[in-house]
Amino acid sequence: MAGHSKWHSIRHKKGANDAKRGKIFTKHARLITLAAKNGPDPDLNALLRAAIDNAKAANVPNDNIQRAIDKASGANGDTQMFEMTYEAYGPNGVAFLIDAITDNKNRTITSVRTILNKNGGSLGETGSVSYMFALKGVIVGQGTLDDDLSLEILDLGAQDFEQSDEGFVVTTDPSSMLKVKNAIENANLTINSAEVAKIADTEIEITDVIVQEKILKLISKLEDDDDITDVYTNCNI
């Protein structure tokens, strides 16, 4: 993972490795439906606005986006979706938070437990690892944050930022994410994604190649599950 930013080394997003377009669309539709339960107007619902923007960045058609919003109000059926977070341990005691959106809790937890057990992990008790992570707004984009823009976004609620040849990563308080995102866009920089994520307060450095391979295999298996939307870990490979 050499050359990746710190952000890329500690978080593994399901969509980055999805091979099938339909799988990506399904994932984004679920995220939009869940966000829309707090209100169908993206101008009044910052989480929905972020979910829509990320879906558009993944080339999800507008019709799919609207159907996902309608589904939240029951316009396209009454299937209830649940947002679940599972706490787990992986190889070498690495902490995992596994986010899922599902219409069948029993199916999803059975699948998660099976994947963990077969790949050197185990399901943890509620609260066993969640205290190691904090909710952050995370904005990933391309371009250079100059001094003036850096000061502006700090005033708007940015907590930290990282600049590299690949682009930038800005972390914010979740409530400030949209304001910071708008300021960056107004400076004509490209935003790749903006979302609320769970970031580990402290990282575990993994240098053993065999352990690295086991962790990456576990992440891959979890990401292959259709119900799982995000996998977070406190390891730094």
In this prediction, residue 18 has a pLDDT band, given cuts at 50, 70 and 90, of very low
So what CATH class is 6-72?
A: mainly alpha
In this prediction, residue 1 has a pLDDT band, given cuts at 50, 70 and 90, of very low
Residue 19 reports pLDDT greater than 60:
no
CATH 1.10.10.200 domain range(s) in the chain: 6-72
Tell me the mean pLDDT in the region 222-229. 88
Of 154 and 21, the structure prediction assigns the larger pLDDT to 154
The angle that helices 209-223 and 105-118 make with each other, rounded to 10 degrees, is 160
Residue 2 reports pLDDT greater than 90:
no
Percent over 70 (pLDDT), the chain = 88
| pLDDT at residue number 20 | 55
So what CATH class is 83-131+203-236?
A: alpha beta
8's tokens = 């890329």
Tell me the mean pLDDT in the region 3-11. 39
The domain at 132-200 falls in which architecture? 2-Layer Sandwich (3.30)
For 200-217, how does the pLDDT look when each residue is reduced to its tens digit (9 = 90+)?
998 889 999 999 999 999
Q: How far apart are CA 189 and CA 173, in angstroms?
A: 20
Tell me the mean pLDDT in the region 77-82. 69
For 184-197, how does the pLDDT look when each residue is reduced to its tens digit (9 = 90+)?
999 999 898 888 88
| 178 contacts: CB under 8 Å, gap ≥ 6 | 46, 49, 50, 194
* HEC secondary structure over the chain: CCCCCHHHHHEEEHHHHCCCHHHHHHHHHHHHHHHHCCCCCCCCCHHHHHHHHHHHHCCCCHHHHHHHHHHHCCCCCCCCCEEEEEEEECHHHCEEEEEEEECCHHHHHHHHHHHHHHCCCEECCCCCCHHHEEEEEEEEEECCCCHHHHHHHHHHCEEEEEEECCEEEEEECHHHHHHHHHHHHHCCCEEEEEEEEEEECCCEECCCHHHHHHHHHHHHHHHCCCCEEEEEECEEC
Label residue 77 exposed, middle or buried (CB < 10 Å: 0-12, 13-18, 19+): exposed
Residue 152: CB atoms within 10 Å: 17
Residue 38, CB half-sphere, CA atoms under 13 Å: how many?
13
Q: What average pLDDT does the structure give for the chain?
A: 85
CATH 3.30.70.980 domain range(s) in the chain: 83-131+203-236, 132-200
Of 228 and 14, the structure prediction assigns the larger pLDDT to 228
Phi, psi of 140 (to 5 degrees): -115, 130
67 forms bridges with which residues in the sheet? none
**Number of residues in the chain:** 237
In this prediction, residue 80 has a pLDDT band, given cuts at 50, 70 and 90, of confident
Tell me the mean pLDDT in the region 86-91. 96
Phi, psi of 232 (to 5 degrees): -115, 145
25's torsion region: left (phi>0), alpha (psi -120 to 50) or beta? alpha
| pLDDT at residue number 129 | 94
**Residue listed under structure tokens 């307060």:** 201
* Residue type at position 41: D
For 112-153, how does the pLDDT look when each residue is reduced to its tens digit (9 = 90+)?
999 999 999 999 999 999 999 999 999 999 999 999 999 999
First to last CA, the chain: 7
